[in-house]
Structure 1
Amino acid sequence: MSLNTLQIRPLSPFPIQTSRHTYPTNLKFSSKTLPRTRQIKSKSQETHNSTRQTKTQQDGIPIEDVKIIAKFKSRHNYIRVLEISRKADHPFAGSRLLLLDAPGNIQSISFLFKALTNTYFDVFATLPPIVPPGPIAILGFGAGSAARLLLELYPGVVIHGWELDPSVIDVGREYFGLKKLEKQYPDRLFIYVGNALTAKVKDGFSGILVDLFCKGSLIPELQDPNTWEKLRKSLRKGGRIMVNVGGSCVEAEDKRRDGKVVMERTLKAMHRVFGNRLFVLNLGNRKDDSSLAITGQLPDLDAWKKMLPRSLSCYVDMWEPFSL
């Protein structure tokens, strides 16, 4: 997810700070004037039903409805935690957002009174019913948005999550309820700090969720077929990989890393490994806004829907075969 209206200067390293002031008074902006609304785009721009809401995720949030409650520079990221007022006329109302990178990529979202997010994390939550028994890996754990959904919706699921930045895990525990989640599911949630592409467990994963971004762009390794071959080998028989491949809504720090182009290169690299067993789901109003990919032949769609909560079954019909 990205924040593209306000240009934010990187900060020097300093410990987590909290504040009761509203967002504009806590960050320094390169713009001399502040717009009246804050444009927050998601890496998964909108879900299929967001157009039925008063506003969509693409619409700005009034400045007075946004509060920054933490900001600091870690070794790997420029980290900010935002809190959106419950009174805001926006799909993110009542949420906390974890922003990473200078453009303001939202890595995690959490609502106080509901589990579903109306973002690509909900699509991730459709994976468990169509993979064999066994642990599921989350590569790019963030503050635990995907893990929370899977643990709450599927009592038997075991999650192994990898996150490169230990500060992101600390923020998840402090502001996104991750510490409570770990205590609640000590035998079902395991978190590792390190390179997600080295993830492995004995006997392999039943499913892998990939959400790996750096400096506002999918990491370059995901445009290499060798990466996908390695991940394929870490799956159990019948296992699947579901990937947030981004799209034109993703804003990178390096302007040469165009979100749509990087998405297309990633899908082509996956196609080299998975061939016609690769499917794409497009979110947003335009085809290239934001997409997810899944590997393996799709199961019977009606049977898949019956295994999902009704609020998630709508995504099943949105998958289409990937074509070059």
Structure 2
Amino acid sequence: MATELISLQCLRPPHHIPRKFLNLSPPPSTLNLRPKPPLNPIFIRQLSQRHKTSHDDDGIPADDVKTLAKFKSRHNYIRVIQVSRKTNHPLAGSRLLLLDNPGNIHSISFLLKSLTDSYFDVFATLPPIIPHGPIGILGFGAGSTARLILELYPPEITVHGWELDPSVIDVGREFFGLSKLERDHKDRIFISIGDALNASVKSGFSGILVDLFSKGSVIKELQDPKVWESLKCRLRKRGRIMVNVGGRCVEAEDSERDGDLVMDETLKAMSLVFGDKLFVLMLGNGNDSSVALTGDLPDLDAWKKRLPRSELRSYVDMWRPYN
């Protein structure tokens, strides 16, 4: 009898995990974990019979993956899965939050380490290059980005998160340690339920992290320059926006929402607002997945010196002007 495997096909340096699709009920004979944002967004894709992986693939036995929660909320089909620490795989020991029917991974956490080897780590490089002030997280998920920022940086840095689905926050508190994070940093983390595109703070954001996906795709609003103009107006002077813009590893429910094309349209919309002050960090192989950054390119050496973990410094040299 063939062994059931979970296979990670797109994991190339720098570590990149796309937001693909995973169907856990009923389970396919193989599950394919293909890296999206750098890991990129994290994606999991459902495999058809003709796409099933072989024994030669870098896979995880299906027995090493456990479903902790599975239910439908008003906005999402929510699943939480746990990957065994004993398996030989980059995701060993991780807990993943999957949303929507495609099963996009919206949060990742490891029991024995803080960094995720994913685009969340790229997000965690933002604080040293923005002015003092609050950081907005649009698309909070279960709090992966917030956890990194709060644990790596000093107390004066605060995060304000927006999440549309209250059930996602509930899952974060129950399965991803969000309740403890809120207790440990009660004066530094503030979570709002609602449309993230309406996010604001009275004094303006020093930085905004955008990670907004729906049905396996960057939301359509982010291909509208007016939305970026609005977000830009909510920044303090010298503030910046960092965005998970997806890429070819993103596979949407709607076949017309090609990941590559959506990424291009999102970057084009941003360039109309930010001009030549727009940079892109590509993850995986070419534009498998990408993160965008606004503002002048910082002094790279100074940026590296201010990062709290050496593992984050490699990302600094990967930024390129958007062309």
Q: Normalised by the size of structure 1, how large is the TM-score?
A: 0.86
Alpha carbon RMSD of aligned pairs, Å?
1.4
Alignment of 1:133-282 (within 5 A): 133-155=132-154, 156-282=156-282
Cα distance in 2 for residues equivalent to 1:94 and 1:77: 25
User: Residue 2 in 1 paired to residue 19 in 2?
Assistant: yes
Gaps of 5+ in 1: 9-23, 48-57
Partners in 2 of 1:189 and 1:46 — Cα distance? 25
Structure 2 Cα separation of the partners of residues 60 and 322 of structure 1: 35
Distance in 2 (alpha carbons) for counterparts of 1:218 and 1:244: 8
Q: Deviations over 1:97-154 (max 9, x none)?
A: 0001111100000111110000000000000000000000000000000000000000
SS in 2 for 1:268: helix
In structure 1, the residue corresponding to 2:33 is in which secondary structure?
Answer: strand
Offset from partner CA, 1:268-324 (integer Å, 9 cap, x none): 000000000000000002x1200000000111100000001211011000000000x
Query: 1:43–1:105: 8 Å Cα contact kept in structure 2?
Result: no
| In structure 2, C-alpha distance between the alignment counterparts of 1:240 and 1:60, rounded to whole Å | 39
Matched residues, number: 288
Q: Which residue of 2 aligns with 1:109?
A: 108
Look up the match of 2:320: 320
CA distance in 2, matches of 1:250, 1:163: 21
Q: 1:53 — aligned with what?
A: none
Does residue 66 of structure 1 match 2:87?
no
Q: Distance in 1 between matches of 2:122 and 2:291?
A: 8
Equivalent residue number for residue 122 of structure 2: 123
Match of 1:54 in 2: none
1: CA distance, partners of 2:246 / 2:66: 26
Residue 76 of structure 1: SS of its match in structure 2?
Answer: coil
Letter in 2 for 1:306: K
Who is 2:289 aligned against? 290
Task: Report percent identity of matched pairs.
Answer: 67
Distance in 1, matches of 2:38 and 2:311, equals: 18
Deviation above 4 Å: which 4+ runs of structure 1?
A: none
Q: Does 1:28 align with 2:26?
A: yes
1:40 matched to 2:4? The reply is: no
Output the CA distance in 2 between the equivalents of 1:239 and 1:61: 42
Once the two structures are TM-superposed, the CA of residue 202 in structure 1 deviates from its matched residue by 1.1
- Give the drift of 1:59: 4.8
Q: Deviations over 1:131-188 (max 9, x none)?
A: 0000000000000000000000001210000000001000000000000100111100
**Preserved CA contact (<8 Å) 2:135 2:157:** yes
2-structure distance, mates of 1:3, 1:294: 23
Q: Does the residue aligned with 1:314 lie in a helix, a strand or coil?
A: helix
Q: Distance in 1 between matches of 2:20 and 2:39?
A: 14
Aligned partner of residue 82 in structure 1, secondary structure: strand
Confirm whether residue 79 of structure 1 aligns to residue 78 of structure 2: yes
SS of 2:200 mapped into structure 1: coil
